[in-house]
Chain A
Amino acid sequence: MVDIERQNNACCTGDSCSGLSSIQTGLQSLEETIQSEVCCGSPPGPRSNPLEKPGFKLLNFVTDFKDSAWGPVPRVKTQLTGSDHLGTLIARLGIKRDQYIIAPGLYCVGNPDQDSPVLVTANYKLTFDSLRQELTALDAWLLVLDTRGINVWCAAGKALFSTREVVDRVKQTMLNKVVRHSQLILPQLGATGVSAHQVKKASGFKVIWGPVRANDIRRFIAADNRIEKSMRQVTFSIRERTVLIPVELSHLPKASFWVLLAVFFLSGIGTSFFSFNDAWYRGLLALAAYAGGILAGAVAAPVFLPWIPGRAFALKGALTGVVVGLAVVLLFKSGLIWMETMALLLITVAISSYLAMNFTGSTPFTSPSGVEKEMRRAIPLQAGAVLIALVAWVSAAFVG
Chain B
Amino acid sequence: MENFRYLAGVTTLQLDSEGCVGCGVCESVCPHSVFRMNAKKAEIDDLDGCMECGACAQNCAAGAIRVTPGVGCASYIIQTWIKGKETAGCCST
Contacts and interface: CB of A to CB of B under 8 A. Distances in A.
B32 A358 contact: no
B51 interface: yes
Contacts of A357: 74
Interface string A183-227: 000001101111111000000000001001000000000000001
Interface string A104-134: 0000000000000000000010000000000
- Chain A interface category by residue count: 35 or more
Interface centre among A193, A195, A233, A367 (most CB of B within 10 A): A367
Contacts of A312: 7
Given A157-B71, A311-B5, A369-B10, A232 B76 contact: no
A264 to B, nearest CB: 26
B1 A234 contact: yes
B31 A367 contact: no
Given A197-B61, A373-B10, A192 B69 contact: yes
A375 B7 CA distance: 12
Contact of A361 (B29, B53, B75): B75
A371 to B, nearest CB: 5
Contacts of B33: 229, 232-233
B32 A366 contact: no
Contacts of B54: 157, 192
Nearest to A251: B91
B31 A234 contact: yes
Contacts of A32: none
Chain A facing B: main interface SS = helix
Contact of A192 (B4, B58, B73, B91): B58
B52 to A, nearest CB: 4
Given A209-B29, A361-B92, A191 B1 contact: no
B14 to A, nearest CB: 13
Nearest to B13: A367
Given A227-B28, A360-B73, A361-B71, A191 B59 contact: yes
Contacts of A313: 74
A352 B10 CA distance: 24
A149 interface: yes
B56 to A, nearest CB: 8
Contacts of B51: 364-367
Interface string B49-93: 111111110110100000011111111111000000000001111
A350 to B, nearest CB: 14
A157 B53 contact: yes
Contact of B93 (A98, A212, A371): A98
Interface of A: 97-98, 124, 149-151, 153-154, 156-158, 188-189, 191-197, 209, 212, 227, 229, 232-236, 247, 251, 305-306, 311-313, 357-358, 360-375
Top 10 closest A-B pairs, CB basis? A361-B73, A368-B70, A191-B55, A366-B72, A191-B29, A370-B7, A306-B3, A369-B10, A197-B61, A367-B52
Given A192-B53, A367-B52, A368-B70, 19 more contacts: A97-B93, A124-B93, A158-B90, A191-B29, A195-B59, A196-B59, A197-B61, A233-B1, A234-B31, A306-B3, A360-B73, A361-B72, A363-B4, A366-B51, A368-B52, A368-B72, A369-B68, A372-B77, A375-B78
